[in-house]
Structure 1
Amino acid sequence: MIYQPFLPLDQLTRFTSDQYSDSDMLEVIVKYSGDIMAVGAELDAFVEILDVNYAILTISLANLAKLYQYNEVEYVELPKNLTYFLRESLNSACISQVQRPTSFNLTGAGVAIGIIDSGIDYTHSDFQNQDGSTRILFLWDQTIDGNPPMDFRNGSEYTKAQIDEALASDTPYEFVPSRDTEGHGTAVAGVAAGNGRGSDSVEKGVAPNASLIVVKLGHTGHAAFTRTTEIMRAIKYIYAKAQEVNMPVSINISYGTNNGSHDGSSLFEGYIDNMTERWRSCICVAAGNEASAGHHYSNLLTQGATDRVEFSISDNISSLYMTIWKNFVDTMTFSVISPSGRSTGEISPFQRVTRFTMDGVLVSVLYGQPTHYNTAQEIYILFRGVSGPMPPGLWALSVRGLDITYGLFDIWLPPLEEVGQETDFLRPTVTNTITIPATAHQVISVGGYNSTLNSMADFSGQGTLRNIDFIKPDLVAPAVNILTTKAGGGYDRFTGTSVAAPFVTGSAALMMEWGLLQGNDPLLYGQRIKAFLWKGAERLPNLAYPNPVWGYGSLSLCDTMDLLVEYNQSGFALT
């Protein structure tokens, strides 16, 4: 049986030709069965096996169409760009009590924390032991070619021994040239695992004795961006290294995108869900800073009605996407209207790919179809400046209900960090603003709140209650004015869900130390960690839980640990 992609391949090839020529090589995510290596050999494509069902193929656009002729290929997905979430504590999350020698005395010793981010300042004293040796077991810098890890072909891997050698020298970067030029990964790692050696007055991170496995993500075009394929490689690498050193691992991802259905159905999210079931691990993902960004719009369209959706494009934007998701049962037509008033006219749902040039902007519209993974339909619109950045102005999308049974549709623009605050909908919707992959089913999705005021951070991505079996975020953690490690030395304050997620990542490491390494709960990883974090979360009075803002409540690790002790001592623990 030959499975079909989200749209016929000739249409996909036509659409990608907006950005690639036939000779260009592009990456695709493939879900497969059988011998995918043989397929790659026949198509002159480089195949990277992620696991028994997922692979990344680097293939020419000219050969892409042939890929779908093979029975081994079940589904193909183009990679998407992701960006990190910074706009600019321990006591609030009840972590300090768990760390105290008179309480649980947990420090993360014997547990690995995986940081998938912009890198780490490995020279920062917070990531060194008392003797000056590094706490980093492995560092894979995807941006430096020369010495890739086994089973990978790009980047350079550095071991603990190599980093120790670098730290012992006066010129460490001559030995290990990896730097965190953005500072994002260093800040995230400090929250999860900083040990406070840099200053006596600075709080430690959540798991100050945990070991670190770090991946500095590759990027395309800008240091804040990476691709889904690079994160998938990073996850595979961290799992392999954690198994190599026989350590449970808690992984942090503080990157995300709006490009997708936001229901956990992409191959990217499916791969992450699949990996959470392996080894002794959990994966925590930041919910994003999109609630107040104005990048989501939703409406319920009735039969024959028309909705004019206005959105502004700001200065210096070369290209941006708009992704529309709706029920395939509903038939809707769309018209794009430029700032000068020019219109594409109604675009028929039977025109799979159409292109228009208006006001110096190439507008490409792609109508997708349901797949064997998702019953929904995507309409993807790509705006690209013909000769440089697009002219700023007010655009509109006219949506008409031609044959409506349900009527709901959602639209997303790229995240705040990609297009800024001035590119937005004039009438945005704050719900369903959690970014991908925090929408993956099996991860722990972490929103942010202001722990000083005990109030929700207005930027923190919000979920929806349309599906009670798919509640996101799972919980919230401190995200405003968080003091943590700064690349180049010292400390600084950061705000965003990027620094909320590592509070939970570090907490999961402490839970696994208590459960797995101390022998109190041999199955305390994966979804069991999530369940106890849910149950132990602090909930405000007069609010219904779970809800799309707070999830199951705010992180309260001491309450979670007390519950674990109670359940284990009462004979409820799984055996």
Structure 2
Amino acid sequence: MIHSPFIPIDQLTRFESDQYSDEDLLEVIVKYSGDIMQVGKELDAFVEILDPNYAIFTISLGNLAKLYSYNQVEYIELPKNLTYFLRENLNSSCISQVQRPTSFGLTGNGIAIGIIDSGIDYTHPDFQNQDGTTRILFLWDQSIDGNPPEGFRNGSEYTKAQIDEALASDTPYTHVPSVDSVGHGTAVAGIAAGNGNSSDAVEKGVAPNASLIVVKLGHRGSPSFTRTTEIMRAVKYISDKAQEVNMPVSMNISYGTNNGSHDGNSLFESYIDDVSVRWRSSICVASGNEGSSAHHYSKLLTQGATDTVEFSISENIQSLYMTIWKNFVDTMTFEVISPSGKSTGVISPLQRVTRFTLDNVLVSVLYGQPTHYNSSQEIYILFRGVNKPIPGGLWNLVVKGTQITYGLFDIWLPTLEEVTQYTNFLRPAVTNTITIPATAFKVISVGGYNSVLKSIADFSGQGTIRNIDFIKPDLVAPAVNILTTRAGGGYDTFTGTSVAAPFVTGSAALMMEWGLLRGNDPFLYGQRIKAFLWKGAERSSTLTYPNPMWGYGSLSLCNTMDLLVEYNQTGIAFS
């Protein structure tokens, strides 16, 4: 077992497991300075440089401890699993008006849209030009080994020329074997950039003439899940390719996790923030579908008080994590009680790792420590069934405040897509249910609403207004019964914040076309796009903004564009 105080505590359980040996390879995110390639060489690790400060190491478990001893290494973080958000119109967001030739006439021409998702059905007519050639500039399928992009370890990269060759063939998948077996990425891409080429198309996407750079995320054995490292690679790849072809880029991420502090302070979130200001880019992230999942609990505990947190675990769950975040100044004890009434007893906060077996369930409790990135403390509890699933039923976590100065603690269970709605807290908190990395500071976090009923979607991840400088979501977009491209051809309706985010991704592409390519605003990217989307959002007179559900309001691109014209004409933008 490794005893470094800076190891994220969810690593320790993996490292102690009997199923791992010193020769097993694992990935870690490394924040570094200096010659990190030499470190990798000395430790026989494969190093993927993301930028001058971030890298991904593929390293043996036996050599991982040595990595902490190098002065070049500032911090190490193990990747978390993420899942996509899918639960089974342009006029409402005032996008159609901006597209009209009699208005702004914006189509996304000359802008790249980056899709980081489950892939794309590149044979779908909506992603082809009128002559049958593809609109995809690059496609990196991380799940197919053979020809990874330069600097990366896995996957296969396909160029526009290769995809065009495949489309001209009677057997396209023998040339480019990348398939979107889930359909999620195809749906997202259709909203952001579908061009309605199919004869039965009802409407186009937001930026129908934009080019596409697509990364199919790879996590073998589970197409619904991916790792933070895979998304970091994808963000770098798309940013690099956009610079290579000298195109502004608007990226879409519709994945997320509950495993973290939800305050924007992980290496994963920090790296995405850094990339967002590296090039003429915008990054939009779905806020997740956790609003009504009952997977967040929050309580303000007083000195000497005891709180019993009741939570239900559904049947056939093999493993489950619970991540607790609190102020390090406060001292709290914890006790886990199984449905049969068996207890771990009071778990000492001074013991770093404690393991128990209750009702044939291995319960590992890990007390973390503050790092130089985060002053908060995490208590990570992992439940793992021994040779069979965790017994379903009502579990209890007893929390007692022994030395309390502040007293607030938050707990998150895994996302709805991981454990279903039947694993939940009995007394949940609906606020602070936005998933990571929508919690990153510089991304545009997008919640969902019902554009027909003009009401917030109950599943949309909600933020908090504890800190006025950290409001999430940024705004909301349509998320219920959205018609878009279907993998395999045709169209279908989808619901979830996954399909809300690409409305904003496409809108950002149109804004950059007007500002950067038409010469109206040379600085219209990054945080400037976010600020004008905030200002132009539709707001109700009956609500207070910024709002933990609505952010700064609902997407209204025509309002935003009118404001941009006004501000640029008056010279205020550059005063």
**TM-score scaled by length of structure 2:** 0.98
**Rounded Cα–Cα distance in structure 2 between residues aligned with 1:109 and 1:261:** 39
Which residues of 2 match residues 317-332 of structure 1 at below 5 A?
317-332=317-332
**Contact 2:319–2:383 under 8 Å retained in 1:** yes
In structure 2, give the amino acid aligned to 1:567.
Y
Q: Can you list the C-alpha shifts for 1:260-309, whole angstroms capped at 9, x where unaligned?
A: 00000000000000111111001000000001001000000011111110
Offset of residue 201 of structure 1: 4.6
Offset of residue 61 of structure 1: 1.4
Aligned partner of residue 302 in structure 2, secondary structure: coil
- Match of 1:398? 398
- Match of 1:457? 457
**Rounded Cα–Cα distance in structure 1 between residues aligned with 2:46 and 2:145:** 17
Offset of residue 8 of structure 1: 8.8
**Contact 1:4–1:371 under 8 Å retained in 2:** no
- Match of 1:339? 339
Offset of residue 20 of structure 1: 2.7
Aligned partner of residue 132 in structure 1, secondary structure: coil
**Contact 1:115–1:185 under 8 Å retained in 2:** yes
In structure 1, give the amino acid aligned to 2:96.
S
**Contact 2:325–2:379 under 8 Å retained in 1:** yes
Offset of residue 221 of structure 1: 3.5
In structure 2, give the amino acid aligned to 1:177.
P
- Match of 1:473? 473
Which residues of 2 match residues 206-217 of structure 1 at below 5 A?
206-217=206-217
Aligned partner of residue 394 in structure 1, secondary structure: strand
Aligned partner of residue 161 in structure 2, secondary structure: helix
Which residues of 2 match residues 58-457 of structure 1 at below 5 A?
58-457=58-457
Offset of residue 432 of structure 1: 0.1
Aligned partner of residue 192 in structure 2, secondary structure: helix
Residue 16 in structure 1 maps to residue 44 in structure 2: no
Offset of residue 23 of structure 1: 2.1
Q: Can you list the C-alpha shifts for 1:358-393, whole angstroms capped at 9, x where unaligned?
A: 111111111000111111000011111110322212
**Contact 2:143–2:220 under 8 Å retained in 1:** no
Offset of residue 331 of structure 1: 0.3
Offset of residue 400 of structure 1: 0.4
**Contact 1:13–1:64 under 8 Å retained in 2:** no
Q: Can you list the C-alpha shifts for 1:373-421, whole angstroms capped at 9, x where unaligned?
A: 1110000111111103222121111100000011000000000011111
Q: Can you list the C-alpha shifts for 1:181-231, whole angstroms capped at 9, x where unaligned?
A: 000000000000000111355110000000000000001431110000000
In structure 2, give the amino acid aligned to 1:58.
T
- Match of 2:493? 493
Q: Can you list the C-alpha shifts for 1:533-557, whole angstroms capped at 9, x where unaligned?
A: 0000000111110010000000000
- % identical equivalent positions: 81
In structure 2, give the amino acid aligned to 1:374.
N
**Rounded Cα–Cα distance in structure 2 between residues aligned with 1:344 and 1:40:** 41
**Rounded Cα–Cα distance in structure 2 between residues aligned with 1:5 and 1:550:** 39
**Rounded Cα–Cα distance in structure 1 between residues aligned with 2:301 and 2:230:** 38
**Rounded Cα–Cα distance in structure 1 between residues aligned with 2:332 and 2:12:** 24
Unaligned runs of 5+ in 2: none
- Match of 1:563? 563
**Rounded Cα–Cα distance in structure 1 between residues aligned with 2:406 and 2:453:** 40
**Rounded Cα–Cα distance in structure 1 between residues aligned with 2:435 and 2:450:** 20
In structure 1, give the amino acid aligned to 2:353.
V
**Rounded Cα–Cα distance in structure 2 between residues aligned with 1:119 and 1:44:** 32
**Rounded Cα–Cα distance in structure 2 between residues aligned with 1:176 and 1:214:** 13
**Rounded Cα–Cα distance in structure 2 between residues aligned with 1:564 and 1:468:** 24
**Contact 2:7–2:76 under 8 Å retained in 1:** no
Offset of residue 4 of structure 1: 6.2
**Contact 2:7–2:77 under 8 Å retained in 1:** no
What is the Cα-based RMSD across aligned positions, in Å?
A: 1.4
**Contact 2:339–2:395 under 8 Å retained in 1:** yes
**Contact 2:141–2:156 under 8 Å retained in 1:** yes
Unaligned runs of 5+ in 1: none
Aligned partner of residue 158 in structure 1, secondary structure: strand
**Rounded Cα–Cα distance in structure 2 between residues aligned with 1:121 and 1:173:** 11
In structure 1, give the amino acid aligned to 2:16.
S
**Contact 1:323–1:413 under 8 Å retained in 2:** yes
**Contact 1:5–1:76 under 8 Å retained in 2:** no
Q: Can you list the C-alpha shifts for 1:115-160, whole angstroms capped at 9, x where unaligned?
A: 0000000000000000110000000000000111111121000000
In structure 2, give the amino acid aligned to 1:16.
F
**Rounded Cα–Cα distance in structure 2 between residues aligned with 1:15 and 1:189:** 36
**Contact 1:4–1:75 under 8 Å retained in 2:** no
CA shift in 2, pair 1:99/1:8, >3 Å: closer
Offset of residue 58 of structure 1: 1.1
Aligned partner of residue 311 in structure 2, secondary structure: strand
Offset of residue 16 of structure 1: 2.4
Offset of residue 63 of structure 1: 1.4
**Rounded Cα–Cα distance in structure 2 between residues aligned with 1:66 and 1:550:** 47
Aligned partner of residue 50 in structure 1, secondary structure: strand
Q: Can you list the C-alpha shifts for 1:246-265, whole angstroms capped at 9, x where unaligned?
A: 00000000000000000000
Offset of residue 245 of structure 1: 0.5
Which residues of 2 match residues 486-525 of structure 1 at below 5 A?
486-525=486-525
Offset of residue 316 of structure 1: 1.6
Offset of residue 44 of structure 1: 1.5
Which residues of 2 match residues 527-538 of structure 1 at below 5 A?
527-538=527-538
**Rounded Cα–Cα distance in structure 2 between residues aligned with 1:551 and 1:251:** 20
**Contact 1:4–1:74 under 8 Å retained in 2:** no
How many pairs align? Answer: 572
Aligned partner of residue 483 in structure 1, secondary structure: strand
CA shift in 2, pair 1:492/1:14, >3 Å: closer
**Rounded Cα–Cα distance in structure 1 between residues aligned with 2:506 and 2:13:** 45
In structure 2, give the amino acid aligned to 1:366.
L
Aligned partner of residue 552 in structure 1, secondary structure: coil
Q: Which runs of 4+ in 1 moved over 6 A?
A: none
**Rounded Cα–Cα distance in structure 1 between residues aligned with 2:332 and 2:21:** 32
**Contact 1:136–1:214 under 8 Å retained in 2:** yes
**Rounded Cα–Cα distance in structure 1 between residues aligned with 2:386 and 2:20:** 15
CA shift in 2, pair 1:536/1:386, >3 Å: same
**Rounded Cα–Cα distance in structure 2 between residues aligned with 1:34 and 1:409:** 38
CA shift in 2, pair 1:220/1:20, >3 Å: farther
Offset of residue 12 of structure 1: 5.0
Offset of residue 352 of structure 1: 0.5
**Contact 1:127–1:136 under 8 Å retained in 2:** yes
Q: Can you list the C-alpha shifts for 1:500-548, whole angstroms capped at 9, x where unaligned?
A: 0000000000000000000000000000000000000000111110010
**Rounded Cα–Cα distance in structure 1 between residues aligned with 2:350 and 2:161:** 59
**Contact 2:326–2:410 under 8 Å retained in 1:** yes
Aligned partner of residue 573 in structure 1, secondary structure: helix
Offset of residue 59 of structure 1: 1.2
**Contact 2:8–2:78 under 8 Å retained in 1:** no
Which residues of 2 match residues 28-67 of structure 1 at below 5 A?
28-67=28-67
Offset of residue 7 of structure 1: 4.3
Offset of residue 62 of structure 1: 1.4
